[in-house]
């Protein structure tokens, strides 16, 4: 009989050999420049992560911006803003286009810079000189002027909250020439110049009147403009009623401190707003932001509000696909996944970790696919029983509470091969920094185990979701292997399309390249 070990070794040589090292100095596969840019843009928040400093992320994106064509940069910026719900990275990519003098900035600008916060981010990045210039330049200046001259009163008031730069700073930089009397008065009021009070827009008039006479109705302006005043409980209740969905989510503890929930009907009103499907969709909420709200709600936040947050989480994950066939999902629960998902920044670090996001993805897939198998892993697969009928929050918390060891991405596949398991789709959620299973040459251990798995499951597909800014992967991209990054619910849409064979040959990059600009 032929030497089985010999022929197994020969077969492994047909697998793609690694071509780089990951952050743990273990063999890995380099993503293409376009894949790298997409990965950094979909997951990077320009804060320090477990493996990369904020400066390292910035340097990488700027280097990729020189390597990738302007059209793809624009498409990536649009994708990450409209479908990935990112903030800093899309603004940075728009600034990169500005520094290139790229014509693609014009069609991309309105879709990426879609509110005042994004406008101030864009101006801040350019003025910092990080992208190679400190002046706006002709095209960017005209685009900023156009935004200022076309934004609604509500959008301008929202933009007026914040500094470095403030909206007043931006107005002074670009000198917009408004056509409407109300806009001219608003800009003068904003920068402290003389203005015709009669021409002020309604909300600003109401704000000025309220400052002079506190018996006036509370004006419908961003609540940050009011907090310096001596607000009463009824005022805070009105702020909660007027506030947008994200603002309410972020201030649940603030409302408790000011006694809002003690007023008749306010708990019910806030709970109704939190679980409103239309408001959730409009807010472009990350599912993990709802997890964060659930985790950070203090003891004084009523149970009904906590219940509404759980309902909102279920609604936010409504488009998680019910996939055909057998699904296995493998969340990484290793030590590096304990790092904040949006990175570390002094005074502004989220409590939600990468492992929470991985657990949330796994729990959401299990909720829609009750026969799915969940294999959390670190050095090895961690045994954990989950009930698919439990809430997503309950199962996510169970998953996130385990693990903490080294990273071994091949462990779930090895465990499935040992048991000769059958499956149609395997989904990894990880930072891809595998090192326990490092191989000296040839393919990664993940690819070796995947090859064995494919012998039993020839039509199976593998999805590797990376929740951190990364340039490498443990699974080489192919027609049956998809590498994707991000933590918005759009990731689920792409997984479903890939599983159904509906993605083109370029896969995730192809999805981005399909965006019309």
- DSSP-derived secondary structure for 229-292: S---HHHHHHHHHHS-HHHHHHTHHHHHHTTGGGSTTHHHHHHHHHT-HHHHHHHT--HHHHHH
Cα separation values, 190 from 157, 180, 193, 225, 418, Å? 10, 15, 8, 13, 68
Domains of the chain, CATH where assigned: 18-29+320-513 (3.40.50.410), 86-221 (no CATH), 228-283+285-315 (no CATH)
Least Cα distance to 490 among 281, 213, 258, 223 occurs for 281
**20-21 sheet: strands from edge to edge:** 20-21, 27-30, 472-473
Say how far apart CA 183 and CA 188 lie, in whole Å. Answer: 9
Per-residue model confidence (pLDDT) at position 348: 66
Residues lower than pLDDT 70 in the chain: 1-13, 319, 347-348
Assigned token pair, 215: 């018996």
Whether the CB-CB separation of 323 and 500 falls below 8 Å is answered with no
Detail the DSSP E strand segments found in 31-77.
none
Least Cα distance to 499 among 446, 463, 447 occurs for 463
Say how far apart CA 279 and CA 281 lie, in whole Å. Answer: 5
DSSP 316-354: HTTT----SS-EEEEEB-SGGGGSBTT-B-TT---S-BH
Say how far apart CA 44 and CA 341 lie, in whole Å. Answer: 9
Determine phi and psi for 485, rounding to 5 degrees.
-125, 160
Neighbours of 344 (CB within 10 A): 16
Say how far apart CA 323 and CA 504 lie, in whole Å. Answer: 19
Per-residue model confidence (pLDDT) at position 204: 96
Per-residue model confidence (pLDDT) at position 1: 40
Say how far apart CA 468 and CA 482 lie, in whole Å. Answer: 16
Cα separation values, 384 from 375, 395, 401, Å? 8, 10, 11
Per-residue model confidence (pLDDT) at position 3: 45
Cα separation values, 160 from 8, 156, 163, 187, Å? 65, 6, 8, 10
Give tens-digit pLDDT for 75-130.
999 999 999 889 899 999 999 999 999 999 999 999 999 999 999 999 999 999 99
Per-residue model confidence (pLDDT) at position 101: 93
Cα separation values, 370 from 204, 209, 335, 357, 489, Å? 53, 57, 28, 20, 19
Say how far apart CA 166 and CA 317 lie, in whole Å. Answer: 35
**Exposed (0-12), middle (13-18) or buried (19+): which is 16, by Cβ within 10 Å?**
middle
**327-331 sheet: strands from edge to edge:** 373-374, 327-331, 425-430, 461-466, 481-485
């Amino acid at each position: 009989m032929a030497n089985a070990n010999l022929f197994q070794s020969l077969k492994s040589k047909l697998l793609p050999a690694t071509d780089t090292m990951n952050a743990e100095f273990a063999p890995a596969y380099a993503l293409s420049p376009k894949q790298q840019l997409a990965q950094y843009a979909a997951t990077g928040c320009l804060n320090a992560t477990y493996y990369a400093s904020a400066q390292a992320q910035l340097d990488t994106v700027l280097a990729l911006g020189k390597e990738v064509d302007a059209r793809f940069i624009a498409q990536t910026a649009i994708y990450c803003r409209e479908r990935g719900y990112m903030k800093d990275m899309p603004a940075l990519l728009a600034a990169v286009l500005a520094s290139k003098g790229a014509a693609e900035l014009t069609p991309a600008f309105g879709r990426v810079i879609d509110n005042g916060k994004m406008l101030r981010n864009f101006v801040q990045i350019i003025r910092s000189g990080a992208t190679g210039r400190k002046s706006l330049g002709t095209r960017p200046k005209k685009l900023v002027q156009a935004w200022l001259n076309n934004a609604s009163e509500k959008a301008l008031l929202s933009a007026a909250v914040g500094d470095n730069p403030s909206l007043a700073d931006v107005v002074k930089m670009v000198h917009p020439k408004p056509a409407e009397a109300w806009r001219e008065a608003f800009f003068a009021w904003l920068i402290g110049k003389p203005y015709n009070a009669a021409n002020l827009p309604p909300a600003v008039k109401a704000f000025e009147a309220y400052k002079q006479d506190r018996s006036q109705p509370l004006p419908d302006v961003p609540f940050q403009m009011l907090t310096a005043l001596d607000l009463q409980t009824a005022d805070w209740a009105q702020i909660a009623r007027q506030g947008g969905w994200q603002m309410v989510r972020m201030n649940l503890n603030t409302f408790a401190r000011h006694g809002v929930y003690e007023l008749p009907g306010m708990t019910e009103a806030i709970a109704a707003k939190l679980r409103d499907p239309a408001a959730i969709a409009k807010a472009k909420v990350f599912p993990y932001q709802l997890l964060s709200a659930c985790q950070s709600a203090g003891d004084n936040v009523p149970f009904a509000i906590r219940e509404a947050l759980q309902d909102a989480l279920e609604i936010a994950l409504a488009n998680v696909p019910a996939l055909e066939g057998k699904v296995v999902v493998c969340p990484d629960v290793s030590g590096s996944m304990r790092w904040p998902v949006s990175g570390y920044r002094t005074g502004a670090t989220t409590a939600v970790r990468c492992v929470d996001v991985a657990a949330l993805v796994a729990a959401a897939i299990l909720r829609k696919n009750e026969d799915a198998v969940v294999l959390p892993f670190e050095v090895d697969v961690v045994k954990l029983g989950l009930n698919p009928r439990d809430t997503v929050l309950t199962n996510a918390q169970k998953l996130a509470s385990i693990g903490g060891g080294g990273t071994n991405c091949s462990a779930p596949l090895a465990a499935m091969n040992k048991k000769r398991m059958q499956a149609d789709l395997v989904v990894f959620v990880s930072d891809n920094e595998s090192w326990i299973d490092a191989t000296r040459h040839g393919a990664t251990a993940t690819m070796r185990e995947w090859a064995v798995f494919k012998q039993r499951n020839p039509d199976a597909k593998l999805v590797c979701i990376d929740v951190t800014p990364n340039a490498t992967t443990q699974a080489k991209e192919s027609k049956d292997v998809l590498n994707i990054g991000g933590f918005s619910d759009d990731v689920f849409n792409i997984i479903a399309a890939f599983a159904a064979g509906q993605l083109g040959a370029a896969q995730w990059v192809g999805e981005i390249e399909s965006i019309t600009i």
